[in-house]
Amino acid sequence: MNINRSITVKYMIHIKRLQEDGADVIVLIGEIDASSSIELDLAIAKSVGEGFTKILVDCSALEYISSAGLGVFMSYIEEFKDKNNHGTFWHE
Amino acid sequence: MNYKYKVGCSIENLKGVRDFIRTSLKSHGVPDLEISEVVLALDEMCSNLMIHAHHCNPDDLFELHIKVENNDPVIFEIIDDGTVFDINEFSEPGLDNLIHEKRKGGLGIRLVKTIMDKVEYQKTSGKNICRLTKTIHFLKPKS
């Protein structure tokens, strides 16, 4: 039987941010689950905190997302509506 | 064929759980789409168990068993000794409520119920067994 007791995977998601035409582009590379969704939340919170009203999330290199990651996106929907912010996701 | 995996309840171990499921099912002609579906459902179940029943304690261990035989439904068993949370008794909130209340829970259970055919619970000699069943459309072996 395989036994995995230790913490083996620390960097399953790599998040890059770049700015294009006044929009903040958040590029997700890897997998988002209950563990790595915290980093996604921090990245969006940082973007919102820095005052960006147009946020694009590039999911082209996102290989996996669980409800924890979807929950992060959903938790910002109301805030975006209130502030008239725009969030767009794309996956090629 | 039976596959077994034993893992500590740290959410950093979820990737290992997903890789174990993918590797176990790959050689049995399970289509990629159905592998992705069950990986998601099991990830949701295991993360719930790690967080709510074991408070992410890496020293608490649970087992995941997979029984896969060609043309039979695939059976997944999650075995632990924590508090049982029966998802069949949980009425998941509507999507509008999830957005409005900024809730981050409830979506996973909805996904598990959509993907799996059956989720059953059993208690045997101090151990909880959560059995999830999924009918698979096996790919025909290449001749």
Task: Give the C-alpha separation, B26 to B37, whole Å.
Answer: 13
Residue to mutate among A67, A74, A76, with most B CBs inside 10 A, is A67
Place of tokens 């590797």: B23
Task: Give the C-alpha separation, B78 to B130, whole Å.
Answer: 5
A11 has a chain B CB within 8 A of its CB: no
Contacting residues for B139 by C-beta, under 8 A, at least 6 apart: B29, B30, B31
Q: pTM, whole model, 2 decimals?
A: 0.89
Q: Which of B89, B65, B66, B78 is nearest to B128 (CA)?
A: B78
Contact A66 B40 (CB under 8 A): yes
Read off the pLDDT of residues A21-37 as tens digits, 9 standing for 90 and up.
Answer: 999 999 999 999 999 99
Chain B contacts of A14, Cβ < 8 Å? none
Question: ipTM, 2 decimals?
Answer: 0.88
What pLDDT score was predicted for residue B140?
Answer: 81
Place of tokens 């990986």: B39
CA B119 to chain centre: 9
What pLDDT score was predicted for residue B41?
Answer: 98
A9 has a chain B CB within 8 A of its CB: yes
Place of tokens 């990651």: A69
User: Torsion angle, CA of B109/A74/B36/A38, rounded to 10 degrees?
Assistant: -100
Contact B108 A31 (CB under 8 A): no
Task: Give the C-alpha separation, B79 to B98, whole Å.
Answer: 30
What pLDDT score was predicted for residue A8?
Answer: 42
Read off the pLDDT of residues B46-98 as tens digits, 9 standing for 90 and up.
Answer: 999 999 999 999 999 999 999 999 889 999 999 999 888 889 888 777 777 76
Read off the pLDDT of residues A38-92 as tens digits, 9 standing for 90 and up.
Answer: 999 999 999 999 999 999 999 999 999 999 999 999 889 888 888 877 778 777 6
Nearest C-alpha of chain B: how many angstroms from A65?
8
